[in-house]
Structure 1
Amino acid sequence: MTTGQTSQASQASPTSRGDTVRWGVLATGGIAARFTEEVQRLADAEVVAVASRSDASAKEFAGRFGIPRAYGEWSALVADPEVDVVYVATPHSAHRTAAGLALAAGKPVLCEKPFTLNVREATELVSLARERGVFLMEAMWTYCNPVIRRMAELVRDGAIGDIQTVQADFGFPGPTDPGHRLRDPALGGGALLDLGVYPVSFAQLLLGEPDRVQADALLSPEGVDLNTGMLLGWESGATALLTCSLTAGTPVTATVSGTGGRIELPSGFFHADRFVLHRNGAGPEEFTADGGLYGLQYEAAEVMRCLRAGETESPLVPLDGTLAVMRTLDAVRDRIGVRFPMD
């Protein structure tokens, strides 16, 4: 993991004094609603504004969650002086535009995963943030989860020896309507970006960027992937077998196996509340989460910690790691023949 960089602009922010962090939510869909609900339960955070492309949608969302200001234009939200940080929860295809708008206005950004549609867009956002010294982080809540962090720490400390294999899956029976966003190439549809980003990010958290990428997929008539298998390889000899699917419900589990044992994460591995460590020749050890935060609160808390510390990058979700995941997702799409209009 890389260490966070410090910005003089961030140090001058009210958030650096330990004040309540004021969030602006850009979008009004399901994930925006969940994030808002969970952040509002944090004692040191407020959601003070929401923006949509329509006044009606913004006002309805604001009324539902008691948010004081609603904007029918994204530009109004990023210009709001009462907003300390912007959470981008638009469809994938708008991440580059929405996050870029906020960064250009000097607003710190937490951007939903997948970070962008491709590595070109991701590189543009990272370059903009670094040039301007503005905080930017992908909303990869898995990396902020204390159970996942503990698991990764044990792996780094050699609890299972040298990693040999990683297995992870994420699948559910998805929509069959060709008009749904998950079936639309213009919106970054398909299993890979919505679901596959989790197994890929999990594997790369433990092993870094792969040296080899192989993949195969079932494509929809619209040209997005519906059922995808990935085989990643590293020069160390480690491999990762990863799957994502919009055609079948899968266990949504993960296993990391090494020369000295293995770690098993139960269903919902990407937001796990426990895991089991099996050391060779020893009985199983179960690790569980301590009390406190839950769900999306972990990523929000990490953003607020970074802002108060004057960091423009999170050591838990480093931008270089985000770029590495995007390169792998691009490589998988290249292998399976999925192209987006914006590529």
Structure 2
Amino acid sequence: MDEIRWGIIGCGDVTEVKSGPAFGKVNNSRLVAVMRRDGAKAADYAKRHQVPKWFDDATQLINDPEVNAIYIATPPLQHEAYTIEALKAGKPVYVEKPMTLDATSAQRMIDAANELNVKLCIAHYRRAQPMFLKIKELLSAHIIGDIRLVRLKMLQSPNTSLIAKTANNWRIDPAISGGGLFHDLAPHQLDLMTYYFGAVKNAIGIATRQQEDTEVADLVAGNILFENGVVFSGNWCFSVAPKDEADICSIYGSTGHIDFPVFGNKITVTTSQLTEEYTFEPLQHVQQPMIEKVVDYFLGIGPNPCSGEDALITTKLMDDFTIKTNTS
């Protein structure tokens, strides 16, 4: 294989700018087919993005001989079935976050990839973005000394602009999303924590529904003790007033702290000697740096930028925080 020829299953809103166009901008990569159950919308997407083929059936896309890699961008409910079908067809898979509905489902996906010996990557794409790589560099350089504590606060109003608006609002249907807005946003944040701090020793949380007109928890609190002794404490609430919205993560060390928003573009480093800011230009396609790494991995010239095993850790944390019993 010397070129990745992508097929997208689920060419919805998330693929319009964040990911879809990037498949054609990365070296040795082309987008050759898209699929959506609404054939008219699939055809419209293909026309607007100059994609040669479109389908309204995922199996037809998976089995198209021109397609040699699959990107799954459906709601989480379909991730497991489509992933396993593509793996059985011998085609490597890149799956949107969250990986799937719960850790039991995630483990089945991992087992299938291992048994079939086909590559699997998960779209925790902040791992590849310059801003978050800079934070990892600062931590490795001990700019703030030995890491002690991480505090994360994600407070959003019910109509937060961070969530893409869709006709049926599937993100607050637990049968489709696995939970509520926590399950849509927290994977980015929790994956960064495991990327920075490694193995989890213990995790515990609480989740509650404070709005009457929702089926899912709109407030989640969680704590993690990492094997290296770092302690994480996070709070997510999706029912605050717009003026109280906040997105801040603070990493405290023995000689200072680092502050940054997970959905923003500025890092602030504060120590007794200095206060320094790093500002990053917004990316046109937020997944492009990750897609570059995925392409290299699929071509056999780079490591897996985020394995199923990596994403399983994040999925287990979400289950722990929301007290989810895995029965799927």
Indicate the residue corresponding to 2:13 in structure 1. 30
Indicate the residue corresponding to 2:163 in structure 1. none
> 1:52, 1:235 → 2: CA distance?
43
Give the 3-state SS of the residue equivalent to 2:208 in structure 1: strand
TM-score, L = length of structure 1 = 0.82
Could you give the per-residue CA deviations for residues 195-240 of structure 1, whole angstroms, max 9, x where no partner exists? 1222222222222243332322332555311121212223554321
CA shift in 2, pair 1:201/1:47, >3 Å = same
* Aligned ranges 1:49-68 → 2 under 5 Å: 49-68=33-52
Indicate the residue corresponding to 1:39 in structure 2. 23
> 1:93, 1:276 → 2: CA distance?
38
Indicate the residue corresponding to 1:100 in structure 2. 84
Give 1:26 deviation, angstroms. Answer: 0.6
> 1:60, 1:293 → 2: CA distance?
22
1:242 equivalent to 2:237? Answer no
User: Between Structure 1 and Structure 2, how many residues are aligned?
Assistant: 316
CA shift in 2, pair 1:190/1:205, >3 Å = same
1:173 equivalent to 2:157? Answer yes
1:216 equivalent to 2:206? Answer yes
- Within the candidate set 125, 144, 161, 1:160 is matched to 144
Indicate the residue corresponding to 2:224 in structure 1. 232
Give 1:117 deviation, angstroms. Answer: 0.8
**Does the 8 Å CA contact 1:166/1:241 hold for their aligned counterparts?**
yes
Give the 3-state SS of the residue equivalent to 1:165 in structure 2: strand
Give the 3-state SS of the residue equivalent to 1:115 in structure 2: coil
**Does the 8 Å CA contact 1:333/1:339 hold for their aligned counterparts?**
no
* Aligned ranges 1:176-191 → 2 under 5 Å: 180-187=169-176, 188-191=178-181
**Does the 8 Å CA contact 1:181/1:189 hold for their aligned counterparts?**
no
Give 1:299 deviation, angstroms. Answer: 1.3
- Within the candidate set 240, 249, 255, 1:254 is matched to 249
**Does the 8 Å CA contact 1:175/1:182 hold for their aligned counterparts?**
no
1:142 equivalent to 2:126? Answer yes
> 2:314, 2:12 → 1: CA distance?
25
**Does the 8 Å CA contact 2:9/2:73 hold for their aligned counterparts?**
yes
Give 1:73 deviation, angstroms. Answer: 0.7
> 2:64, 2:25 → 1: CA distance?
23
Give the 3-state SS of the residue equivalent to 1:142 in structure 2: helix
TM-score, L = length of structure 2 = 0.86
Give the 3-state SS of the residue equivalent to 2:48 in structure 1: helix
> 2:128, 2:193 → 1: CA distance?
15
**Does the 8 Å CA contact 1:38/1:296 hold for their aligned counterparts?**
yes
Give 1:76 deviation, angstroms. Answer: 0.9
Q: Which moved more, 1:92-101 or 1:52-61?
A: 52-61
Give 1:185 deviation, angstroms. Answer: 1.8
- Within the candidate set 177, 184, 192, 1:202 is matched to 192
- Within the candidate set 291, 310, 316, 1:300 is matched to 291
CA shift in 2, pair 1:45/1:273, >3 Å = farther
Give the 3-state SS of the residue equivalent to 2:274 in structure 1: coil
Q: Which moved more, 1:246-255 or 1:121-130?
A: 246-255
For structure 1, which runs of at least 5 residues remain unmatched after alignment? 1-12, 16-20
Could you give the per-residue CA deviations for residues 155-182 of structure 1, whole angstroms, max 9, x where no partner exists? 13322222111122334333699x6312
CA shift in 2, pair 1:193/1:278, >3 Å = same
> 2:45, 2:32 → 1: CA distance?
12
Give 1:24 deviation, angstroms. Answer: 0.9
> 1:292, 1:223 → 2: CA distance?
34
Indicate the residue corresponding to 1:264 in structure 2. 259
CA shift in 2, pair 1:194/1:339, >3 Å = farther
For structure 2, which runs of at least 5 residues remain unmatched after alignment? 161-165
> 1:160, 1:291 → 2: CA distance?
26
